Amino acid sequence: MSKILSNEKVQNIIWGTAGLLFVLIIWQLSVAFTTMGRVIPGPFEVFKSLFSYIFKPMGKYTLIGHTLVSLTRVLVGFTLSAVCGIILGIGMGCSEKINAIVRPIFHMVRPIPGVAWIPIAILWLGIGEEAKIFIIFMGGFAQVVLNTMDGARRVDPTLLGAARMLGANKRQEFFKIVLPYSVPYIFAGLQISLSTSWMAVLAAEMVSSYKGSGWIIITGMNNGDTVQILIGMISIGVVGLMIAFIMRIIERLLCSWRIQGQ
Amino acid sequence: MSKSIKYKLISALSITIFLLIWEIATDVLHIKPSFVLPSPIKVFHVLIVKMTSTSPDGSTLPIHILASLKVALLGFLSGAIVGSPLGILMAWNKKVDMAVRPVFDLLRTIPPIGWIPIMILLLGIGTQAKVAVIFLCSFIPCLINSYTGIKQTSQIHLWTGQIFGATNMQLLRKIAIPTALPFVFTGLRVSLSISWMTLVAAELLAATKGVGYMMQIARTIGRADIIVLGMLVIAVLGSVLFMVLEFVEKKFVKGWF
């Protein structure tokens, strides 16, 4: 069995690299032999300047500096929205009263995507860090609330009944049953909200900023510098992959009991 | 029954209080100047005015809405039409999977908003660039979800089908696709919400029409009432699109089971 598995893995890697090479070759050929070359630089040029910008500043910071700026913004905004979202979501899921009070306002705000908050956030908070964190917060918040609420609502009533019968008080009920039961749901919500946050920060930086990954792309566009746009896109892609990878590891750590059960 | 009525009353009360606080904070107390935080009455007023007036951004509200809807639906539908069948094909046929997967994995890592500038450079700021960006971002969740859906098909069902002599095509049409359908619709829902968000971002960056463009112009001249109006319009349109999709889903998925 293990032999078959490893064989499949090897095959996947081979096909993966072949596909990647294929894309790069097509890219290079189309740049070299068609009119595409006037608009888009070849892969060699892009990767060469990608590596040079790791040490050479682009605007104010190096490529890594810009990426870190964006990541910090995402982390602050995402943490805020996760904490507030989980608290509100559990409140709405556990108590009908809180749900009735918050629901109409929440459903008015929820369908507004984070990106749509950009203009008003700039008017309210300027183009500094606060505006960006606010945009990320608004972008990620709703999804966390929805998922947490869903998780808290789906708690198995038999479990709650059993706990009550064995004499658990409200607090124990909450910390021993409701909270662990909703962790997988909360986590699914966090994952979605993290990827929306990452998108929202890019959009916010594109509309107005002077540093960050989105700034790299938009400055490239304004200067007609396609190399810079592509560098920005590649670095964003790499960061996105890393975030997804880290989240998967954390999920495995936090929800291991659920994965084993499946 | 009476309990649910009580909670509905609380909900109605809470939204009224919210609007009242908003109104008092703006029109009565003037906590923030009106170019920063408009009152709800002012927003409602501008909604009526914008229905016929073209100032300050050159089009009336219905034209902006139509422009946005057209771009969003074109991009979303073309993404769904290409993405879902391709996902099904990839899950059903290993060769297609191997050929498409590396390119797809490469495309998938870049968030849709990252595509906007390069598309604008390649295709201009018209409809084409936006449709292309939305196509790219709606195509990806559709593909992933329909792929997962087909992979969920129970092997036992497939074996049963084979024993009764179903052809490969019949297995796909009668067993695998019905199993995958709920997943396909999940993909459609995800890609609809991403499409809508990307559209707004694209219009904020470069456009000549559309709700996002209206908000962007309003920001540069400090008309917060139009911005809030734009946000509400985006929220309402997004919800309506979702309702339509849910309606379609109910029709289709019920028919299969």
Position A176 scores a pLDDT of: 83
- Tell me what the pLDDT averaged over chain B comes to: 85
Of A111, A115, A119, the CB nearest to B218: A119
Chain A touched by B35 (CB under 8 Å)? yes
* Other CB atoms within 10 A of residue A45 CB: 15
**Cα B35 from chain centre:** 29
Which whole number is the average pLDDT over A112-135? 86
Give the C-alpha separation, B224 to A125, whole Å.
Answer: 13
In chain A, residues with a C-beta closer than 8 Å to the C-beta of B236 are 111
In chain A, residues with a C-beta closer than 8 Å to the C-beta of B3 are 96
Tell me the C-alpha to C-alpha distance, in Å, between residue A206 and each of A86, A174, A212, A231. 29, 43, 9, 15
Position B254 scores a pLDDT of: 63
The interface predicted TM-score of the complex, written ipTM, equals: 0.81
A111: which 2 tokens?
Answer: 């369908």
A209: which 2 tokens?
Answer: 């900023």
CB B217 within 8 A of CB B225: no
Cβ-defined contact of B102 to A124 (cutoff 8 Å):
no
Position A262 scores a pLDDT of: 40
In chain B, residues with a C-beta closer than 8 Å to the C-beta of A39 are 121-122
pLDDT tens for each residue of B139-167 = 888 988 888 888 888 888 888 888 888 88
Residue B37 sits at φ, ψ, to 5 deg, of -135, 105
Give the C-alpha separation, B251 to B255, whole Å.
Answer: 6
Position B220 scores a pLDDT of: 86
CB B146 within 8 A of CB B91: yes
> What distance in Å separates residue B208's CA from the closest CA in chain A?
16
Give percent of chain A above pLDDT 90. Answer: 6
Contacts of B88 (CB under 8 A, 6+ apart): B146, B147, B149, B150, B172, B176, B177, B180, B184
Give the C-alpha separation, B81 to B138, whole Å.
Answer: 10
A129: which 2 tokens?
Answer: 């860090």
Q: How confident is the model at residue A76 (pLDDT cuts 50, 70, 90)?
A: very high
In chain A, residues with a C-beta closer than 8 Å to the C-beta of B244 are none
* Other CB atoms within 10 A of residue A92 CB: 23
In chain B, residues with a C-beta closer than 8 Å to the C-beta of A40 are 122
Position A5 scores a pLDDT of: 55
* Other CB atoms within 10 A of residue B248 CB: 12
Position A82 scores a pLDDT of: 92
Give the C-alpha separation, B232 to B237, whole Å.
Answer: 8
| Among B69, B28, B23, residue whose Cα is nearest residue B44 | B23
pLDDT tens for each residue of B10-21 = 888 888 888 888
Cβ-defined contact of A123 to B7 (cutoff 8 Å):
no
In chain A, residues with a C-beta closer than 8 Å to the C-beta of B197 are 113-116, 196, 199
> What distance in Å separates residue A114's CA from the closest CA in chain B?
8
**Nearest residue in chain B measured CA to CA from A198:** B111
Chain A touched by B155 (CB under 8 Å)? no
Chain A touched by B212 (CB under 8 Å)? yes
In chain A, residues with a C-beta closer than 8 Å to the C-beta of B243 are none
Which whole number is the average pLDDT over A198-207? 85
A93: which 2 tokens?
Answer: 């899921």
**Nearest residue in chain A measured CA to CA from B123:** A39
Cβ-defined contact of B14 to A206 (cutoff 8 Å):
no
Chain A touched by B76 (CB under 8 Å)? no
Cβ-defined contact of A123 to B116 (cutoff 8 Å):
no
> What distance in Å separates residue B130's CA from the closest CA in chain A?
15
Alpha helices in chain A (DSSP H): 2-33, 36-39, 43-55, 63-94, 96-109, 118-125, 129-153, 157-165, 170-172, 179-207, 213-222, 226-254, 256-261
In the 3-class helix/strand/coil scheme, how is chain B assigned residue by residue? CHHHHHHHHHHHHHHHHHHHHHHHHHHHCCCCCCCCCCCHHHHHHHHHHHHHCCCCCCCCHHHHHHHHHHHHHHHHHHHHHHHHHHHHHHHHCHHHHHHHHHHHHHHHCCCHHHHHHHHHHHHCCCHHHHHHHHHHHHHHHHHHHHHHHHHCCCHHHHHHHHHCCCCHHHHHHHHHHHHHHHHHHHHHHHHHHHHHHHHHHHHHHCCCCCHHHHHHHHHHCCCHHHHHHHHHHHHHHHHHHHHHHHHHHHHHHHHHC
B203: which 2 tokens?
Answer: 């219009």
Predicted TM-score (pTM) of this structure: 0.82
- For A208-235, give the DSSP string: S-SSSHHHHHHHHHHTT-HHHHHHHHHH
Judged by average pLDDT, the poorest of A86-90, B2-6, B229-233 is B2-6
B51: which 2 tokens?
Answer: 């229905």
Quote the Cα angle for A52-A53-A57, to 5°: 130
The strand pairing partners of A61, in sequence order, are A58
> What distance in Å separates residue B114's CA from the closest CA in chain A?
6
Cβ-defined contact of B200 to A113 (cutoff 8 Å):
yes
